[in-house]
Amino acid sequence: MAITGCFDNILCRKEKFMYTFPEDYFNEEVREGFTISKMMKRAWAAQLEVLAEIKRVCEILDIQYFADWGTMLGAVRHNGYIPWDDDLDIGMLRKDYMKFLDEAPKHLDKWFELKSVYNDPTDDIVKARVINERHINFNKDFLDRFHNCPYVVGVDIFPVDNIPSDKEKLDETVDILKFLLKVEASIPEEPPYDNEVMDLMSQIEDTLGIKIDYNNRLRHEVKKAFDIVSSRYMNEDTDEVSCMLALAIDWDYYHCDRKWYDEYIEMPFEVTTIPVPKGYDNLLRFNYGDDYMTPRNVGASHAYPFYREQRDGLKEVMEREFNTTLTDEQMDELVEMKVMGA
């Protein structure tokens, strides 16, 4: 009992559901032979609330978003999440993406925050993310707002970039992106930096005309440069688009017809709908093969569930506070007790 009381001293903070879920939605469920826990159902629901906020802001800004990557596959094949998937991915064409990064923060409700390489010096990922918190939160208002999920959840937003039909121009851009990835991998995570690193950064400034903020971590500055180079054809009317990171890691075939994104279809997704590009069949064949409609659990690109790291961090605090050892199962039980007792 003493351990559960510790939660009140470690965390806290934050209004109304935008989606109504059937009462049995939050029960443990087996889909395609895969067991989805009650907490994962709550995490899915919380992510959908983040998506609802993105949708609201996109309508204000007249921006088109769409399901991307595994979320697109989930919408088409499962009318919802892929059973063994635990995140939510959307995309925006680059012009809409940059407009969203620039204008969305002032429209987002108090619960939500936008992170990207342009506004968060700790964020080294070439995609944006709208999140609902920075830390685990057991405050009753927060739990009420996010369906009893205390974990930080978010929606990843990927830019889809114009690519030139001129092969020399495209090859030059991809070579620059590959160079930037190599530079990033060679730079220490934190300063101090040696003369070789500083020379590389100076080379980036001189060659690419991109201003480096030397007050930030330089790895972060390189990733920001990567995104800037990726967007260089944003204002051109090109026939093809791509994920520039895919091209930079040698997915040379990843050339998508711009027309695939000219129209969108609203598809069922759990308790709501999500827009999917009309050319989804071609996009899914690119990413998952011609048999993409056949479910195959090949695992996620990160540790499942996504909130494991958050839970384990809290577990370390609990164990240190009470000089005890907790199993993962015991920790999950304690989180459940705290959530239901909040």
Using CB atoms within 10 Å of the CB of residue 235, give its burial: 0 to 12 exposed, 13 to 18 middle, 19+ buried. exposed
Residue 8 predicted with pLDDT over 90: no
For residue 92, the Cα-to-chain-centroid distance in whole angstroms is 13
Residue 93 predicted with pLDDT over 80: yes
Query: Beta-carbon neighbour count of residue 43 at 10 Å?
Result: 26
pLDDT digits (tens, 9 = 90+) for 125-162: 999 999 999 999 999 999 999 999 999 999 999 999 99
- CA–CA gap between residue 199 and residue 201 (Å, rounded): 5
The answer, as to whether pTM is greater than 0.85, is: yes
Are the C-beta atoms of 51 and 88 separated by less than 8 Å?
yes
Residues in Cβ contact with 245 at an 8 Å cutoff, skipping those fewer than 6 apart: 126, 177, 230
Peptide linkage before 191 cis (omega within 30 of 0): no
pLDDT digits (tens, 9 = 90+) for 27-47: 999 999 999 999 999 999 999
pLDDT digits (tens, 9 = 90+) for 193-204: 999 999 999 999
Give the pLDDT band of residue 304 (cuts 50, 70, 90): very high
Q: Domains of the chain: which residue ranges? A: 2-161+258-341, 167-232
pLDDT digits (tens, 9 = 90+) for 100-118: 999 999 999 999 999 999 9
CB-side neighbour CA atoms (13 Å) of 316 = 5
Give the pLDDT band of residue 3 (cuts 50, 70, 90): low
Q: Phi first, then psi: what are they for 307, rounded to 5°?
A: -85, 5
Return the structure tokens found at 247.
Answer: 């091209």
Residue 15 predicted with pLDDT over 50: no
Return the structure tokens found at 140.
Answer: 């009753």
303-337 exposure pattern, b = at least 16 Cβ within 10 A, e = fewer: eebbbeebbeebbebbeeeeeeebeeeebbebbee
Q: What is the pLDDT of residue 10?
A: 45
Return the structure tokens found at 226.
Answer: 């990567």
Are the C-beta atoms of 138 and 11 separated by less than 8 Å?
yes
Q: What is the pLDDT of residue 301?
A: 64
Q: What is residue 98's three-state secondary structure?
A: helix
Residue 332 predicted with pLDDT over 60: yes
Q: What type of residue sits at position 239?
A: D
